[in-house]
Structure 1
Amino acid sequence: MNTIEQLKWRYATKKFNPTKKLSKAKINILIEAFNLTATSYGLQTLKLVVVEDKKLREPLVAPAYNQKQVLNASHLLVICIQDNIQSTDVIDYYNNIKHIRNTPETILKPYREDLVNMMQDMSVTERQQWSTNQAYIALGNLMTVCAIEGIDSCPMEGFIASEYDKLLKLNEKGLKSVLLLPVGYRADDDMFSTFKKVRKPIDEAVIIL
Structure 2
Amino acid sequence: MDIIQQLQWRYATKAFNTSKTLSKPQLNTLKEAFNLTATSFGLQTLSLVIVENKTIRESLVPYAFNQKQVVEASHLLVICIQDNIEASDVTEYYNNIKTIRNTPETILKPYREQLVGMMDVKTIEQRQQWSKNQAYIALGNLMTVCAIEGIDACPMEGFLPEKFDETLQLKQKGLKSVLLLPVGFRADNDFFATLKKVRKPINETIIEL
**Partner residue of 2:35?**
35
Shift, 1:102, TM fit: 0.3
Output the TM-score relative to the length of structure 1.
1.00
2-side partners of 1:32 and 1:69: how far apart? 23
Aligned 1:1-209 pairs, distance under 5 A: 1-209=1-209
Write the distance in 1 (CA, Å) between the matches of 2:80 and 2:137.
12
Deviation at 1:47, TM superposition (A): 0.2
Query: Which residue identity lines up with residue 17 of structure 2 in the other structure?
Result: N
Code of the residue aligned with 2:143 in structure 1: it is M
Task: Name the stretch that deviates more: 139-148 or 51-60.
Answer: 51-60
Q: Deviations over 1:74-115 (max 9, x none)?
A: 000000000000000000000000000000111100000000
- CA deviations on 1:171-194 (whole Å, 9 max, x unpaired) are 110000000000000000000001
- Superposed displacement of residue 57, structure 1: 0.6
Q: Distance in 2 between matches of 1:40 and 1:166?
A: 28
Amino acid at match of 1:81: I
| Identity across the alignment (%) | 71
**AA paired with 2:21?**
K
Partner Cα separation in structure 2 for residue 184 and residue 86 of structure 1: 36
Q: Which amino acid aligns with 1:151?
A: I
Between the aligned partners of 1:176 and 1:97, the Cα distance in structure 2 is 26
> Matches of 2:126 and 2:139 in 1, distance apart?
20
Question: What is the distance in 2 between the residues matched to 1:202 and 1:105?
Answer: 48
The whole-number CA distance in structure 1 between the counterparts of 2:42 and 2:158 is 28
One-letter amino acid of the counterpart of residue 199, structure 2: R
Could you tell me how far apart the structure 2 residues matched to 1:133 and 1:155 are? Answer: 15
TM-score (norm 2): 1.00
CA RMSD of aligned residues (A): 0.3
Structure 1 stretches of at least 4 aligned residues deviating more than 2 Å after TM superposition = none
1:158 deviation in Å?
0.1
Offset at residue 56 of structure 1 (A): 1.1
SS of structure 2 residue aligned to 1:196: coil
In structure 1, distance between residues paired with 2:75 and 2:4: 25
CA distance in 2, matches of 1:86, 1:195: 47
Give the length in aligned residue pairs: 209
Q: Distance in 2 between matches of 1:3 and 1:117?
A: 41
For 1:61, what is the secondary structure of its paired residue? Answer: helix
* Distance across 1 between alignment mates of 2:150 and 2:177: 26
Q: Give the partner amino acid of 1:11.
A: Y
Gaps of 5+ in 1: none
